[in-house]
Amino acid sequence: MHTFELFNLIGEPFAAGLFELDASPIIRYSNALKRYWERAKIPDYDGGLLYPCGVCAFNFDESIAFRPHYANTYQLNHKALKEKSEKAYDTVVKEISLVKTFSGHTVGGMGWTHSFPNYARVLKEGLNEYKKRIDALPSGDFKEGMLILLDGIDAFHARCLSNLKKHNAPDKLIQALENVPYNPAKNIYEALIGLNFIYYVDGCDDIGPLDKILLPYYEGEDIVELLKELFRHVDENDGWSGTLGPDYNDITRMCLQAIHNGRRPNLQLLVKDDMPDWVWEESAASLSTSCGQPSLYNYQRYMQKLKSLMPEISESDLSHLAFGGCTETMLEGMSNVGSDDAGINVALIFSEYMRAHLKDSDTYEKFFDGLSFEIKKTVADVLDLLNEYRRTRALYRPAVVRTLLVDDCIDSKTEFNAGGARWMWSVINMAGTINVIDSLNAIKSLVYEQRKYSADEFLKLLDERDSVFLTQCKKCPTYGNDNDIADNIGKELIDVLTDALAQRECYPRGKFYPVSNQFTTYVNAGRHIAATPDGRCSGAPLCDSLGAIHGNDTKGPTALLNSVSKLPLENIIGTPITNIRISREHLTKTLKPLVTAFFEKGGMQLQVSCLSREEMLDALEHPEDHKSLVVRVGGFSEYFNRLSPELKQTIIDRTEH
Q: What's the pLDDT tens digit per position in 105-146?
A: 566 667 889 999 999 999 999 999 999 999 999 999 999 999
Q: Enumerate the β-bridge partners of residue 512.
A: 426
- Structurally, the chain folds into a number of domains equal to 1
**How far apart, in Å, are the Cα atoms of 473 and each of 226, 424, 443, 532, 538?**
54, 43, 9, 10, 16
Task: Report the 10 Å Cβ neighbour count for 166.
Answer: 9
345-369 burial: b if 16+ Cβ within 10 Å, else e: bbbbbbbebbeeebeebeebeebbe
Q: What is the mean pLDDT of residues 431-456?
A: 97
Beta carbons within 8 Å of 394's beta carbon, 6+ residues apart: 415, 417, 418, 419, 507, 508
Q: Enumerate the β-bridge partners of residue 337.
A: 425
The Cα 636–Cα 545 span in angstroms is 12
User: 511 and 387 in contact (C-beta within 8 Å)?
Assistant: no
User: In this predicted structure, which of 70-84, 194-208, 548-562, 597-611 has the lowest mean pLDDT?
Assistant: 548-562
Confidence band, pLDDT 50/70/90 cuts, at residue 519: low
User: 226 and 257 in contact (C-beta within 8 Å)?
Assistant: no
Q: What's the pLDDT tens digit per position in 347-372?
A: 999 999 999 999 999 999 999 999 99
pLDDT at 615 over 90: no
Confidence band, pLDDT 50/70/90 cuts, at residue 642: confident
Residue 80 inside a domain? The answer is no
The Cα 94–Cα 556 span in angstroms is 56
User: 244 and 270 in contact (C-beta within 8 Å)?
Assistant: yes
User: 12 and 88 in contact (C-beta within 8 Å)?
Assistant: yes
Q: Enumerate the β-bridge partners of residue 335.
A: 423
The Cα 515–Cα 430 span in angstroms is 6
Q: What's the pLDDT tens digit per position in 18-36?
A: 999 999 999 999 999 999 9
Residue 530 inside a domain? The answer is yes
Residue 303 inside a domain? The answer is no
The Cα 474–Cα 551 span in angstroms is 11
Residue 438 inside a domain? The answer is yes
Residue 337's SS3 state is: strand
pLDDT at 631 over 80: no
Q: What is the mean pLDDT of residues 90-94?
A: 97
Residue 559 inside a domain? The answer is yes
Q: What is the mean pLDDT of residues 276-297?
A: 95
User: 106 and 348 in contact (C-beta within 8 Å)?
Assistant: no
**How far apart, in Å, are the Cα atoms of 466 and each of 270, 281, 437, 443?**
47, 49, 21, 16
Range list of H helices, 397-479: 400-405, 409-412, 433-443, 455-464, 467-475
390-407 burial: b if 16+ Cβ within 10 Å, else e: bbbbbebbbbbbbbbbbb
| Percent with pLDDT over 90 in the chain | 80
Q: What's the pLDDT tens digit per position in 230-242?
A: 999 999 999 999 9
Residue 170's SS3 state is: coil
Q: What letter represents residue 253's amino acid?
A: R
- C-alpha dihedral over 443, 447, 453, 455, to 10 degrees? 80
Q: What's the pLDDT tens digit per position in 372-392?
A: 999 999 999 999 999 999 999
Considering 63-72, 403-412, 572-581, the range whose residues carry the highest mean pLDDT is 403-412
Residue 301 inside a domain? The answer is no
User: 338 and 426 in contact (C-beta within 8 Å)?
Assistant: yes
Q: What's the pLDDT tens digit per position in 302-357?
A: 999 999 999 999 999 999 999 999 889 999 999 999 988 999 999 999 999 999 99
Confidence band, pLDDT 50/70/90 cuts, at residue 636: low
**How far apart, in Å, are the Cα atoms of 499 and each of 328, 354, 461, 574?**
20, 21, 33, 15
Give CA 403 to chain center in angstroms. Answer: 20
Q: Which structural domain, as residue segments, surrounds residue 347?
A: 335-577
Residue 385 inside a domain? The answer is yes
Confidence band, pLDDT 50/70/90 cuts, at residue 552: confident
Return mean pLDDT, the chain: 93
Q: What is the DSSP string of 612-648?
A: -HHHHHHHHH-GGG-TT-EEE-SSSEEEGGGS-HHHH
Residue 290 inside a domain? The answer is no
